[in-house]
Structure 1
């Protein structure tokens, strides 16, 4: 994954990932199933990175939890490094279309965009 020299902090693995997989987000209007799959992967990544805390109860409702904060660039970068290391270990190659890995990497790009993680 090549980094864009004009985007994000130097050396951040999110820059190269965004350059490679961010264009896949443009397929969303044409692929509702893709939106749902990426949303599920984004939720899984967010759940892995942002702890849940008890939320205030509302009358008539049971206990619930909500995320403790936003996805942080540093945490997401660490996640990407670990995930891409694993992909290298298994000699993964990007397929035509989508598999688990491309959905996960596309979901990371969605999180990058939604949390504006390359602008800070």
Structure 2
């Protein structure tokens, strides 16, 4: 599966070149516009986004000082406190998804898709829903700015 890398020296929206999130967003973000026409799609993408968050958050955070970060995505950036009136995804009592963690997840997932010789269907399957959910997480947590 070929996901185009970031364009330009710093990539779009401040993402470094080679960040896998940029290619996924470029390919699958337009699918979010279909939410208005397919209410079931919203629920499916929400479930996939929750599964991705659950996969990323249970383990301990990797320390930038330990050198265990995804450098191409600007890892190690601090997350500021957000007031309780903010959307749930931005609240401090709701652990945010980090760009480097999501990028690592996407690399593993797209590698698996390549190994299985997956091709994108006309509609939605598990993989397209999962990649669309990744786009939703990128948008909700503002991971490319």
Q: Please give the range of the TM-score, normalised by the shorter of the 2 chains.
A: 0.7 to 0.9
Task: Verify: 1:112 aligned to 2:138, yes or no.
Answer: yes
For residue 45 of structure 1, the aligned residue among 40, 48, 52 is 52
CA distance in 2, matches of 1:102, 1:95: 8
Structure 2 length-normalised TM? 0.69
Q: Is the 8 A contact 2:28 2:135 kept in 1?
A: yes
Deviations 1:5-43 (A, max 9, x none): 251221100000000000000111111000000000000
Which residue pairs with 1:32 in the alignment? 39
Runs (4+) of structure 1 exceeding 4 A deviation are: none
The within-5 A match list for 1:1-40 is 1-5=3-7, 6-7=11-12, 8-40=15-47
Deviations 1:42-95 (A, max 9, x none): 00000111129xxxxxxxxxxxxxx76210000000000000000011000000
- SS of 2:118's equivalent in the other structure is coil
- Flag structure 2 segments of 5+ consecutive residues without an equivalent: 60-92
CA distance in 1, matches of 2:16, 2:42: 28
| Count of aligned positions | 105
Structure 1 length-normalised TM? 0.82
Normalized per residue, which structure has more strand?
1
Which residue pairs with 1:99 in the alignment? 125
- Flag structure 1 segments of 5+ consecutive residues without an equivalent: 53-66
- SS of 2:123's equivalent in the other structure is coil
